[in-house]
Amino acid sequence: MQTRPRWLSISLPALLLALSLTACLRIQVHGDPKAWTEHVAETMKMTPTIRVATYNTSLYDDADGGLVRRLAAGDQHARKIAAVLQRVRPDVVLLNEFDYDAQGRAADLFQRDYLERGQTGGGEALHYAYRYLAPVNTGVSSGLDLDRNGSAGGSGRERGNDAWGYGLHPGQYGMLVLSRHPIDAAAVRSFQQLKWSALPGARQPRDPATGEAWYGPEVWPQLRLSSKSHWDVPVRTPFGTVHLLAAHPTPPVFDGVENRNGARNFDEIRLWSEYLSAGASAPATAPWLCDDQGRCGGLAADARFVIAGDYNADPHDGEGLPGAIAQLLDHPRVDATHVPRSVGAVERAADRDLPRRGDVATHTGDFGPKGGTLRLDYVLPSRGLQVRGSGVFWPASGDADAAIGDASDHHLVWLDISAPTH
């Protein structure tokens, strides 16, 4: 049996109290998932629980097909990512920044050669029987001059700037959902092609000097909202269907005074807020909210869900527009009271020594001396689901797990959920 790492913060009295509360068990676990499983195994038997996670893996390559070639040759970075997943062992996980290829070759290789082989610092082989991957907007040519440099397309960064979502080739920075439980593929909804202008009250970027729209009338009606895609992936769990709402909004930087990426980030986040609000009343109230399959309306009011992904928005700090992530954190259908934490984030924030208004223990990534630590990655359940544990895999530098904890500039965030017990 694995011993409990030093970065698990849970007191013995709290543990004893928690084990006695089999009906309403809620513990804030600071990081180590295996220790949680060991201590609450009996409760887990009585109440089916699943672990849902999000992880920005940075498994992308600037060359088309580059990730496939790297994985086929043996990639040390991918081994660390797999080790983290083996360590945390989520039942359902969204991987952000995992390059998409139409044949699913990268996903096949990662499963076969990395997850299903025990990695140093990780654990036993990990098998996911189900997956979902689909095209994304990154790197897909728009045929339009989106960065207003006088030409459409080009090469390198210029080509990326004129894609529907920034990317050097189609599928760069894609998404991948892995699940131990069946995915209802026929019921999946994707919003890759939804137009930004379709969103009521969309934040159309404007030149602050002139007040004129940044995107002209020949461009604005064609722009897609999602920089990658928005997916509603229904997963059939032991306690019923849970909708994984997966997305990866654009970072609110790399633009100009018009702040077009900041506005897009805000509205990409808002899409899920509208999706939940439309379903809470009646699907017919949102005829504009149509998915790539032609189905319109929001998520049913009685549906259980988990919002997951790298949303590139911190509640208090960073360069996002004020209130961007609050659109989800404060939504009446979302339970945002359980905030995953880690000791590694506190340590790194102290090293960066940058001013922060938010609780640095909740931060999920480190973005260098200038960017510092921020909370950008979220796993947010619907109200009514029971949260039985949470954490961020960010061990302190002196912990043995630190050897794999630096696999990405983001850290895996996880939540244990179950159906209501009363």
> Which spans in 282-367 are helix H?
326-329, 343-352
Lowest mean pLDDT among 182-186, 253-257, 269-273: 253-257
CA distance 97 to 344: 22
Sequence-distant (≥ 6) Cβ neighbours of residue 308 within 8 angstroms = 52, 53, 54, 94, 244, 245, 246, 378, 379, 380
Contact 274, 268 (CB under 8 A): no
CA distance 163 to 142: 5
Provide the mean pLDDT of the chain: 90
CA distance 319 to 261: 10
Task: Tell me the domain boundaries of the chain.
Answer: 12-136+171-418
Instruction: Give the other-Cβ count within 10 Å of 164's Cβ.
Output: 25
State the average pLDDT over residues 224-239.
Answer: 98
The two three-digit tokens of residue 367, written as one number: 């973005």
What is the SS3 assignment for 293?
A: coil
pLDDT tens-digit readout, 64-96 = 999 999 999 999 999 999 999 999 999 999 999
pTM of the model: 0.89
The two three-digit tokens of residue 202, written as one number: 């969309």
pLDDT at 291 over 50: yes
> Architecture of 12-136+171-418 per CATH?
4-Layer Sandwich (3.60)
pLDDT tens-digit readout, 40-66 = 455 445 679 999 999 999 999 999 999
What is the SS3 assignment for 60?
A: coil
pLDDT, position 20: 37
Residue 238 vs residues 48, 145, 178, 180, 199: alpha-carbon distances, Å: 6, 48, 16, 11, 35
pLDDT tens-digit readout, 125-149 = 999 999 999 999 999 999 999 999 9
What is the SS3 assignment for 310?
A: strand
DSSP state of 302: T
pLDDT at 98 over 70: yes
> Which spans in 208-292 are helix H?
260-281
The two three-digit tokens of residue 323, written as one number: 């209130």
